Structures are given as structure tokens and as C-alpha cells.
């Protein structure tokens, strides 16, 4: 099995969920809890749970949050040899959910991840990977640097744009070398391309050398635009408990399937199953996630 290198953000998630309908502009009764998070960190932890040899390059702060992030990530069998500790607070993400587990709003402080520089990502570590997974919590310059190094060594790159405000950081990277897959939402696709039309937006990314555009639409499922084909992958109906981390699990299961020899569409279906398993759990990264668990979900009939 090929190795995967993940370069991206790590932060502590602080989640507040209302017990009733969320009312903006006032205090809502509910509950709060925290967990290790960050797009890159979550993807790496999911990959580790799935048995993929995974290295994570991220920035931890020199604080209690940083120690927690390091310990919980290492517990998922992720190699942190090249992760760095910086003299600053660790990243944090505050999410507000309604009673149904859907996101009402969020604020992220990813200054630590944005402080990573090219010297923190050695070219030989990139060259040793079968896939590199990047998230847009990184600076545009670092994204470009890693994509250029991956292109020089023929390493496949998967990019998660993370959010609309951060999607424009990806544009420089798309000019640095071919990208295997990019995973935008519809709104992130518009931010990346300026195109409101789905097909035109996908075509614009394909013109920039992106091999596969996997457009994610939450409960409506996702559509994988691969060379010569497009496939809609339905979301599995779920009793949602918490949407946090679903997209990260989706990306991880997709990459796991690719490195174990599955085709693109099968890999996307593995991603949908992992997303289902995550949103039906209270955990951002399910501690019991395994390839067998994903396989069982795919075998079950879903209406």
C-alpha cells in the first residue's frame, strides 16, 4: 500500500449545539464539547484508522491544545515526525450547530497552519508519497510549493479548498502542476472559477489540469467529474448527529480506496459511506472507523 502525505491544518474544535431550533442574536440552550480537529489532521487521522501509512505535516502551538492534538493524532497511527511546534497558540475552530446537527455558523483561527513554510515540507518526503493531500488552511505559497514538488516527482495531489474565503489560495497551486482531484462544494467551485454554471465551473478546472472534480453537495450527495464521465453519488440517508468532520472522512476514504486499487467511482462511494458513518456519530473522527465498517455500509440497502 502506498504512503500518503497530508499537509494541512490542525486545531481543536469547540462545538456548541442547541437543544431546540437555533435563534440568531440571542443565547440558545444547548451543550458544548471539544475534540481534536482541523481538515488536514482529520483526514490524516481517518486515513490512519483505515490502515493507510500516513504522514502529517502540520503546525501545533506550544500550548495545552497543541499537546492534545499531537497525542490524539499519534493515537490514530499517524506519523508526526515532520510536524512542527510553533511558539504561538494552536489552531481553533468554533462551530454552532442546530438541534439537527446542521451547521449554523463557524469561526476558525488557523494562524498556526498559515505559518507553515516551504522549509517545513521537505521535497524527499513529498517524493516518497503515493498521494499528497492538501487543505487550503495553508498559505497560497506553500500550496504552490508542495504541488510543484509533487509534479516533479509524479506524485498525485488531492486538494480540499476548505471554504469559500480560502478557495482562492488554491488557484496558484493549480498552475504549479497537475492535480489528481479537487473536492469543492458548489459555492467553493464558484469561488474558484467565477462560474455559476456547474458544467462551466468544472470545465474551467479541467482546463487548469485538474483530473477529477468531486463536487460535494451535502445531503444532496456529490458528483464526481472524472476524465470522460460524470457520476452522481447519492448521500446515504442518515439520522444526523453531527456534521463536523464528514467531508474530511469522505476525502480520507476516497484516498484510501484509491491507494488500495479501487477505481474513481468506487472510491467516491467509499467516501459517501465514510461521511455517513461520521455524521451518525458524535465523533469528528470515528475511533472505530475501519475498511470493514465502510464495506458493511456499502452492502446495506438504503432507501
Quick: pLDDT tens for 63-107.
Answer: 999 999 999 999 999 999 999 999 999 999 898 999 988 889 888
- Average confidence (pLDDT) over 40-54: 98
Task: State what percent of residues in the chain have pLDDT above 70.
Answer: 99
pLDDT of residue 219: 84
- Average confidence (pLDDT) over 226-245: 88
Residue 233 pLDDT more than 60?
A: yes
Q: What domains appear along the chain, each with residue ranges and CATH number?
A: 4-19+31-299 (3.40.1190.20)
pLDDT of residue 303: 54
Distance separating alpha carbons of residues 226 and 207, to the nearest angstrom: 13
How is residue 302 annotated by DSSP?
-
Pick left, alpha or beta for residue 149 (phi over 0 → left; psi -120 to 50 → alpha; otherwise beta).
alpha
Q: Which residues contact 144 (CB under 8 A, 6 or more apart)?
A: 172, 173, 175, 176
Q: Which residues contact 177 (CB under 8 A, 6 or more apart)?
A: 147, 148, 150, 151, 152, 157, 209
In DSSP notation, 43-101 reads: HHHHHHHTT--EEEE-EEESSHHHHHHHHHHHTTTEE-TT-EEESSPPEEEEEEE-TTS
pLDDT of residue 239: 84
pLDDT mean across residues, the chain: 94
Helices 39-49 and 64-74 pack at an angle, to 10 degrees, of 30
Cβ–Cβ under 8 Å, residues 224 and 183: no
How is residue 281 annotated by DSSP?
S
- Average confidence (pLDDT) over 284-290: 93
Burial 17-35 (b: 16+ CB within 10 A, else e): bbeeebeeeeebebeeeeb
Amino acid at each position: 500500500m502506498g504512503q500518503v502525505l497530508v499537509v494541512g491544518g490542525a486545531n481543536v474544535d469547540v462545538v456548541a449545539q442547541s437543544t431546540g431550533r437555533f435563534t440568531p442574536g440571542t443565547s440558545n440552550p444547548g451543550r458544548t464539547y471539544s475534540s481534536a480537529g482541523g481538515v488536514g489532521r482529520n483526514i490524516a487521522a481517518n486515513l490512519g484508522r483505515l490502515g493507510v501509512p500516513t504522514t502529517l505535516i502540520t503546525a501545533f502551538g506550544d500550548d495545552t491544545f497543541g499537546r492534545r492534538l499531537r497525542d490524539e493524532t499519534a493515537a490514530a497511527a499517524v506519523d508526526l515526525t515532520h510536524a512542527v511546534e510553533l511558539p504561538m497558540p494552536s489552531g481553533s475552530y468554533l462551530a454552532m450547530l442546530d438541534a439537527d446537527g446542521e451547521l449554523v455558523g463557524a469561526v476558525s483561527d488557523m494562524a498556526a497552519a498559515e505559518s507553515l513554510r516551504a522549509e517545513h515540507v521537505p521535497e524527499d518526503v513529498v517524493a516518497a508519497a503515493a498521494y499528497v493531500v492538501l487543505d487550503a488552511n495553508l498559505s497560497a505559497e506553500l500550496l504552490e510549493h508542495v504541488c510543484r514538488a509533487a509534479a516533479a516527482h509524479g506524485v498525485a495531489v488531492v486538494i480540499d479548498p476548505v471554504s469559500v474565503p480560502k478557495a482562492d489560495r488554491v488557484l496558484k497551486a493549480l498552475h504549479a502542476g497537475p492535480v489528481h482531484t479537487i473536492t469543492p462544494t458548489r459555492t467553493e467551485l464558484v469561488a474558484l472559477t467565477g462560474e455559476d454554471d456547474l458544467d462551466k465551473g468544472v470545465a474551467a478546472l479541467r482546463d487548469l489540469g485538474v483530473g477529477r472534480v468531486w463536487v460535494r453537495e451535502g445531503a444532496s450527495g456529490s458528483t464526481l467529474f472524472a476524465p470522460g464521465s460524470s457520476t452522481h453519488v447519492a448521500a446515504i440517508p442518515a439520522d444526523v448527529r453531527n456534521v463536523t468532520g464528514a467531508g474530511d472522512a469522505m476525502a480520507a476514504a476516497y484516498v484510501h480506496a484509491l491507494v488500495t486499487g479501487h477505481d474513481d467511482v468506487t472510491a467516491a462511494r467509499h467516501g459517501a459511506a465514510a461521511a455517513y458513518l461520521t455524521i451518525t456519530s458524535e465523533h469528528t473522527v470515528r475511533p472505530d472507523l475501519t475498511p470493514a465498517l465502510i464495506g458493511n455500509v456499502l452492502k446495506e440497502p438504503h432507501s
